[in-house]
């Protein structure tokens, strides 16, 4: 679950790096849309999994893993979707977390479609 959290945080920063780097205003706005909801997903995972299991010690300054930042947003979304699908398939999480992960996967599929515009 911690690696998923790191990948979502990296996705947000990948979107922001692209957002700050483009001269195309429509792409600038697109990267804002692509970064929406990620903070909420990270917060829900943090609260429902780590805080619920009294594992607050995982929250360190190095939670943003620079190796996970990929400026190809489509590729990053696919990578995270694959992580989520493995977690759900392996039944590593309870039903409530499976529901949250399914919602995140759905949101990422929408982001994937937008990122390919």
Q: Which residue has the higher pLDDT, 26 or 92?
A: 26
What is the rounded CA–CA span in Å between residue 101 and residue 117?
25
Sequence length of the chain is 117
- Residue 2, pLDDT above cutoff 90: yes
pLDDT band at residue 42 using 50, 70 and 90 as cut-offs: very high
Q: Which residue has the higher pLDDT, 90 or 79?
A: 79
Question: Domain 2-115 falls in which CATH fold?
Answer: Ferritin (1.20.1260)
Domain coordinates of the chain in residue numbers? 2-115
What is the rounded CA–CA span in Å between residue 71 and residue 10?
10
Predicted TM-score (pTM) of the model is 0.92
Give Cβ neighbours of residue 50 (< 8 Å, ≥ 6 apart): 1, 2, 5, 56, 58, 59
């Amino acid at each position: 679950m911690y690696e998923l959290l790191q990948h979502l945080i990296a996705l947000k920063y990948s979107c922001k790096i692209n957002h700050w780097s483009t001269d195309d205003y429509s792409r600038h706005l697109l990267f804002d849309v692509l970064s929406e909801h990620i903070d909420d997903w990270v917060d829900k995972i943090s609260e429902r999994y780590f805080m619920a299991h009294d594992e607050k010690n995982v929250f360190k300054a190095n939670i943003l893993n620079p190796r996970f930042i990929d400026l190809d947003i489509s590729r990053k979304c696919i990578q995270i979707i694959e992580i989520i699908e493995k977690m759900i398939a392996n039944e590593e999480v309870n039903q409530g977390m499976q529901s949250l992960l399914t919602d995140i996967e759905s949101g990422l599929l929408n982001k994937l479609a937008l990122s390919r515009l």
